[in-house]
């Protein structure tokens, strides 16, 4: 009998290889019955600022979800604060996104966003990636002003915030609405799995996901149609694609570098250990 795995993903380009692995039968061929849930059922209302109260995090805590992808920083933070699950690898894609402003904005460079609110999803990939990009542009951490928005694109278009950190399909939708890109964003993802996922099952998940990556790499048009399926066909041509890297082992040095970065900025209360956070066997 196939083992049932309940998987939570999101409707963005960089999580789409999980859906491809489901639809192409790659999980089934590994003897896994993956029950796939895309996006939280509450929509924007479920995208609350406190990540511990978001849908997939509460499902993992309650034991009704086995696997979900999240940003690398978020994976560390969630395992530590929720007290459940471990990271079983770096996710199959490197995420891509952008900091966007409206067409008529005074902002021309990241430096112009010093002490200016930027819409993000709190303690998610765009949140951390925006901090990295701003600091790389010479803006001090104290001058970076991020604001949680359940609907970041709406916050940008309405003028509630001067800028927004977005990923696909929102980047292309913002461009279609006349917005301008100020900076590219890039970040990695982690795979969080419940404690019940043993090493053998984790390896099956990784193999199936890597088969999906190989299948997508074979044809760029196919890749755009699959990864950017939330966009209309005419918009897919210029949409941002994630980098299809395949699942990788999460090394202790990589983990320590991210933990040190998060501690320095107050995103973690204390340093979690590699052994308690990452499944190595």
Q: Domain containing 28 — which CATH number? A: 3.40.190.10
Neighbours of 275 (CB within 10 A): 10
How many distinct helices (H) and strands (E) make up the chain? 12, 9
- In this predicted model, what pLDDT tens digit does every residue of 158-186 receive, in sequence order? 999 999 999 999 999 999 999 999 999 99
Give the pLDDT of residue 88: 98
163 and 237 assigned to the same domain: no
Range of the domain at 255: 3-94+188-277
DSSP string, 101-112: E-TT-S--SGGG
168 and 237 assigned to the same domain: no
- In this predicted model, what pLDDT tens digit does every residue of 199-246 receive, in sequence order? 999 999 999 999 999 999 999 999 999 999 999 999 999 999 999 999
Please give the model's pTM, rounded to 2 decimal places: 0.94
When divided into structural domains, the chain yields a total of 2
For the ranges 28-37, 64-73, 108-117, the one whose mean pLDDT is highest:
108-117
């Amino acid at each position: 009998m196939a083992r049932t795995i309940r998987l939570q993903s999101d409707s963005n380009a960089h999580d789409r290889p999980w859906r491809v692995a489901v639809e192409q039968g790659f999980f089934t061929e590994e003897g896994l019955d993956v029950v796939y849930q895309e996006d939280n059922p509450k929509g924007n209302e479920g995208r609350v600022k406190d990540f511990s109260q978001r849908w997939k995090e509460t499902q993992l805590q309650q034991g009704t979800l086995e696997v979900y992808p999240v940003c690398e920083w978020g994976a560390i933070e969630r395992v530590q604060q929720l007290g459940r699950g471990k990271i079983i690898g770096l996710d199959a894609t490197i995420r891509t996104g952008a900091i966007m402003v409206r067409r008529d904005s005074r902002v021309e460079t990241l430096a112009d966003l010093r002490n200016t609110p930027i819409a993000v999803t709190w303690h998610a990939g765009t949140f951390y990636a925006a901090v990295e990009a701003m600091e790389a542009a010479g803006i001090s951490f104290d001058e970076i002003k991020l604001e949680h928005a359940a609907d970041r694109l709406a916050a940008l278009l309405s003028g509630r915030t001067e800028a927004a950190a977005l990923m696909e399909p929102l980047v292309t939708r913002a461009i279609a609405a006349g917005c301008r890109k100020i900076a590219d964003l890039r970040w990695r993802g982690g795979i969080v799995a419940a404690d019940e996922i043993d090493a053998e099952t984790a390896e099956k998940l990784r193999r199936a996901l890597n088969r999906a990556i190989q299948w997508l790499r074979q044809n760029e048009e196919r890749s755009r149609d699959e990864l950017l399926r939330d966009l209309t066909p005419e918009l897919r041509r210029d949409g941002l694609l994630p980098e299809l890297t395949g699942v990788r082992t999460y090394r202790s040095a990589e983990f320590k570098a991210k933990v040190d970065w998060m501690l320095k900025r107050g995103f973690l209360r204390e340093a979690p250990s590699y052994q308690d956070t990452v499944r190595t066997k």
